[in-house]
Structure 1
Amino acid sequence: MKLPLRNLILLVLMLAASSMGIALKPTKKIADQGPKVELETLIPKAFGEWRQDIVSVTQAVDPQQKEMLDKIYNQTLSRTYVNAQGYRIMLSVAYGGDQSDAMQVHKPEVCYPAQGFILHGKQAGTLQVRGGSLPITRVSTSLGNRNEPVTYWITIGDRVIKTGGIEKKLVEMSYGLAGKVPDGMLIRVSSLDPDTVSAYPIHDRFSSQLLEAIAPEARWRLAGKPGNE
């Protein structure tokens, strides 16, 4: 059976990189270059139609136990936002300064079922933002009578990547061949909504307004740099 061309290219690149061994082992962490990431100040507490809801009892899902999070990520941030109509959005951002194989971001389609949620579906999508679009992933989950649609995207270095393993590995390898260790983020937006279909456009509106509210010089942290799609 023939391998798909992209898989074959990835296999060849991985074998080539492996044969080079320690000589090309990346050593320069992108996280150590430039201003440090501070999620608490990077993510605004109010923007567009949204304000942080400090009295909400909505419980956001943690991808793993806290001790595991501390091993994987340098920083995590979880907030609930509400608009004038009373619609609530849960935002979770996890930042890791080293996105090597030992410190990979954890995807909702893995961590939600690990906590007992039923995964009803997963699909790729795009988020329209100023200057282009971002690849995102939609995940539909439920736990008892809690229906939680999820939208998320992942950054590796200065790029927003598709969540498929091939694209992710190719980006990581491009950094590795340049001697760099990329940092990365997982940005997760979710809501408690029985109508999954209508929830996703609200997620998109929230996400677009969030990115628009972040200072241009820092926006690339969450949205990648132009030309790196």
Structure 2
Amino acid sequence: MRRDWVVWLGCFLLFGCGAVWAQVPLKTSFFVIDSVHDLFEVLGALATVVAVCVAAANINTWKHQVNASADLELARKVVTALYRYKDKIMTTWGWAEFSVEQLHGDEKPTPELSDAVNETIQASIDESDNAALVLKDLLLECQSAWRLNFDIESTFVYMFSDRCSLVAKSYILWSRTYHLDSQVAARSEKSIRTHWSWFEKNKCENYSDAITHLERLLSKLERRIEEKLLLS
């Protein structure tokens, strides 16, 4: 689309130059060439002008192709990061759901079992946090290269992942302290319930609803990227 405007602008300027040139009074002797040598000099000058115009057009085409290729590669990286982010976050969401179920259960986990489970939970949190950082870096690169702002869409996406991590981290602290320090355990339990209430408010209390909600948030980012590629 942008290239079409450049072509039309060039045509308009050429037409304007012709109109101005037509108004300039010239003697007929101006067009008379004294010798064959002068004729070849004129033709050589014209050939040089044509060659420069063709080279400029080719350079513009090449630049457009290079930019389009770079945009496509960046978009591919972002989409890949979005899918990886979704998988990692939903795993952490599963541990957040597990945390709430443990609070409601009658039997509390033993310290030995808690240590093994907590290690797995922490690994999931680390992976989801890393996936979020990769996505943030790529979106910042997009904003810099494309002059687009993804803050509105990304804020709600990161809010989902933050709540998952906070519930899971609070559970780890609760499982380590409920049999040792009742005050710390009580604060941890309150933190779990507070952060999980965000999922209840957004109707993400089961896996199906949670992944549907997350996909809806991610699709807004994907649409912005697709629109950018279509306009390039």
- TM-score after normalising by structure 2: 0.23
Q: Relative to total residues, which structure has the larger helix share, 1 or 2?
A: 2
**TM-score relative to the length of structure 1:** 0.24
